[in-house]
Amino acid sequence: MLTVLEIAPALHIPRPHSGRFSYRVPEGMKPPVLGALVEIPFGNRFVLGLVTNQGDSSRHRPFPLKTIARSITNASAFPETTLRFLEWEATATLTPFGDILRKALPLWANDPRAIAALRLLPQERRDRIRPPRKTKALVIVGNDALRLRRYRMLIRGVLNKKGQALLLAPTRERQKFLLENLGGPRVLAAPHGRTKNARTLWFSLRTGAPRAIIGTRSAFALPFAKLHLIVLDDETNLLHKENREHPFIDGRSAAGSLVAISRAHFAIGNDIVSLNAIVEHHAPLPHRNAHGEIRIIDLHQERPGRSRLSRPLREALRALATKPEGRCLLYVNRLGVAPALTCADCGFVFSCSSCAAPLPMFRAPIAGPLVPGLELREQRPTTVIHELRCRHCGKVSAPPLACPSCRGLRLFPRGVGAEGIERLLQRVLSNSWIGRLDSDATPDPKDQTRILAEFRAHEGPATLIATAMVLGKVLPPLDLVAVPALEQLLATPDFRAEERAFSALMKLRSMLKPKGAFLVQTWRKDSKLLRDAVRGDWGSFARRELRIRKKLGWPPFTRLAKLTFTHRDAKRAETEANRLAERLRTMCQSTNLPICKSAKILGPSPAFITRIREKHVWHLVLAWRPRNIADLRIEKILWNAVPPSWDVDIEPASIL
């Protein structure tokens, strides 16, 4: 009797193909179960595949079916909860299932000696799987000490009941911090690599051994057989969202989906209550938190040319430099000396010739003679020039001598950059330790760890200049925190800009000592956001922001999809964007699904940065209201409607 199986190879199969192919089981072979790993011929090679469904043996096919080469596992390689999550991830992110499977398989999956043990996996009872359900999360709000104490209690309770737990961190550094404070014989890091320990831990999870795993987004694909608890740490951290490569998965949505599929308990830890937690999990709004003293500096009252470091900020820095153990943090969310170079006469902004983006200014040192007795990183060059460097394509050019628009000679940097603040502080605080933490000065995690260690251990006063990456770091209690340019936190026209700015201010304020000072330089001292930040009133800000978003139909009340098309020909990019927008509008109007009729299509329109690497960028944004996290009806429509040349990002971190 002919037996046909649907098998997904661990390869990239572009949309709109389902990524499943029919193979027949050879005579004499026991048909593999669903979820089993097999080796199949694909083209002129043999690849790993996963059995996803029973095929139709009665269907007539105009071509002969290929035969399964061999069966690798007798049982399912993943528990059914994990298989269902992988299916959800592929549909929810519009990523081919082969790409999802390739990342889910452990690195040792192609090693014949290692995968021989997979034949010993126990067969799972399929009747134990229950339908997904919506779970209300336990929201834990507080500092690291409070959250770690609650995490420890939750994990201990699960392990005592012979269950498994997953604690999700936004970054590997945060994962390391959680391991240092919570790790133990049964609380381990997510397995990674081809080592024997990684294989042993993977098998122990698959067989249901009580373990608690601390990991990042890649831990979602681990084969948890008895997952009873999922803890999402630092929920508002933007690094929970993958933006570099497919799948563009959001760890917060993925955690909610895995909770619904596995019916596990859910806990969310953060230093503030996110807007999503307020809407989705009915988290109570917190009381006012007036930690530390905050002072607003109106830059209109300062002398022209002093907007980077105002007089009150300079005085506070000099006063702190007299304290033996004074610690200060300056938060600047831009790299370089300045974010842009402009003409003072006509306002012309210098931009990249390949990208329609302003060119930040950086220092370009020319090495002079070395000073004996100093390390290489402490050497200061005798000559310093500046360069304009594009942050999108990396193109470097020298600053021009005159404006190309009006031929004016008064060219000045505009805005505040971390490198520019560092140069100013070297003049103001000549005897203090000054360090910089950003992707330009410390791109390597080891350099970041070294800078933070020096900042903690320095015996005298120390000042750290940092970008947004500092929000996920662990710092000692600070005497002074300063934000030299509040407007730069709100400079992007994104609906989440104010939420991110307020969240950053609250996180920075929580780093202060009880009697520490918080200084904010601004041109708009009467803004509502700043008024709530001064009072530490997150509840007032959240109520106002949620009221606006509900009226306009923005998340967390809706789900977004950002569709991006790039092409070297500007006319071709515009035509393709208009064609897809018209197709989606026609599909939404012709279907009988109420969710499609209520969906909003915004655009198409050129992106905020209209050209990147000589390619013109067009965006199309789709907004709709799903019933729950498992409602993927719109995603299934987009799977067939959007050509593979388009890039699709569900729940994007930004709509720009």
Q: How far apart are CA 129 and CA 227, in angstroms?
A: 12
Asked if 10 and 105 count as a contact pair (C-beta separation under 8 A), the reply is yes
Q: Same domain, yes or no, for 616 and 509?
A: no
pLDDT in tens, 420-449: 898 888 888 878 899 999 988 888 888 888
Question: At which of 91, 126, 161 does a domain end?
Answer: 126
- Regarding whether 315 and 224 lie in a shared domain, the answer is no
Report CA-CA distances (Å) from 271 to 140, 237, 288, 611. 8, 11, 13, 38
Question: Strands 327-331 and 478-483: what pairing?
Answer: parallel
Strand runs (DSSP E) across 502-596, as ranges?
A: 512-522, 559-567
Total number of domains constituting the chain: 4
Verify that 94 and 166 share a domain, yes or no.
no
Poorest-confidence range of 183-197, 219-233, 265-279, 289-303?
289-303
Domain presence at residue 258 = yes
Residue 105 and residue 17 in one domain? yes
Lowest mean pLDDT among 68-77, 359-368, 528-537: 359-368
Within a domain: 492 = yes
Q: Which of 101, 126, 151 is the last residue of a domain?
A: 126
pLDDT digits (tens, 9 = 90+) for 354-379: 999 999 999 876 555 544 554 444 54
Query: Pick the residue with more confidence: 606 or 272?
Result: 606
Above 90 in pLDDT, residue 171? Answer: no
Residue 285 in domain: no
Rounded distance between C-alpha atoms, residue 169 and residue 356, angstroms:
35
Q: Which pLDDT does position 372 carry in this prediction?
A: 52
Please indicate, yes or no, whether residues 156 and 181 belong to a single structural domain of this protein. yes
- Please indicate, yes or no, whether residues 544 and 570 belong to a single structural domain of this protein: no
The widest CA-to-CA distance across the chain, in whole angstroms, is: 89
Question: pLDDT band for position 86 (50/70/90)?
Answer: very high
Apex 89 CA angle, 85 and 93, nearest 5: 165
Same domain, 537 and 479: yes
Closest CA to 241 of 156, 342, 170: 170
Say if residue 394 is in the same domain as residue 514: yes
Based on the domain organization, do 425 and 569 belong to the same domain? Answer: no
In this prediction, residue 127 carries a pLDDT of 43
Neighbours of 466 (CB within 10 A): 26
Answer yes or no: do 122 and 152 share one domain: no
- Residue-wise pLDDT tens digits, 3-22: 888 999 999 998 888 889 98
Q: 287 in a domain, yes or no?
A: no
- One domain, residues 507 and 419: yes
Domain range for residue 435?
A: 293-551
Q: What is the pLDDT of residue 374?
A: 45
Average pLDDT rounded to a whole number, residues 211-221: 92
pLDDT at 120: 61
Q: Is 41 helix (H, G, I), strand (E, B) or coil?
A: strand
Beta strand pairing call for 512-522 and 478-483:
parallel
Q: What is the CATH number of the domain that holds 630?
A: 3.30.70
Of the pLDDT bands very low, low, confident and very high (cuts 50, 70, 90), residue 302 is confident
Output the average pLDDT for the chain. Answer: 86
- What percent of the chain clears pLDDT 70, i.e. is strictly above it? 91
Decide which of 492, 517, 551 is a domain's last residue: 551
Q: How confident is the model at residue 568 (pLDDT cuts 50, 70, 90)?
A: very high
For residue 66, is it within any domain?
A: yes
Rounded distance between C-alpha atoms, residue 378 and residue 371, angstroms: 9
Q: Is residue 288 part of a domain?
A: no
- The 3-class secondary structure across 442-456, one letter per residue, is CCCHHHHHHHHHHHH
- Residue 132, pLDDT score: 58
Q: Residue 18's domain is classified under what CATH number?
A: 3.40.1440.60
> Which of 93-97, 237-241, 559-563, 565-569 is predicted with the least confidence, judged by mean pLDDT?
237-241
Residue 655 in any domain: the answer is no
Residue 32: CA count within 13 A, CB half-sphere: 33
Q: How far apart are CA 656 and CA 397, in angstroms?
A: 26
pLDDT band at residue 576, thresholds of 50, 70 and 90? very high
**Nearest residue to 187 (alpha-carbon basis) of 154, 138, 147:** 154
Q: What's the predicted TM-score (pTM) here?
A: 0.87
Q: Is residue 286 part of a domain?
A: no
User: Are residue 232 and residue 375 in the same domain, yes or no?
Assistant: no
What pLDDT shows up at residue 309?
A: 85
Only one residue has tokens 């006012």, namely: 288
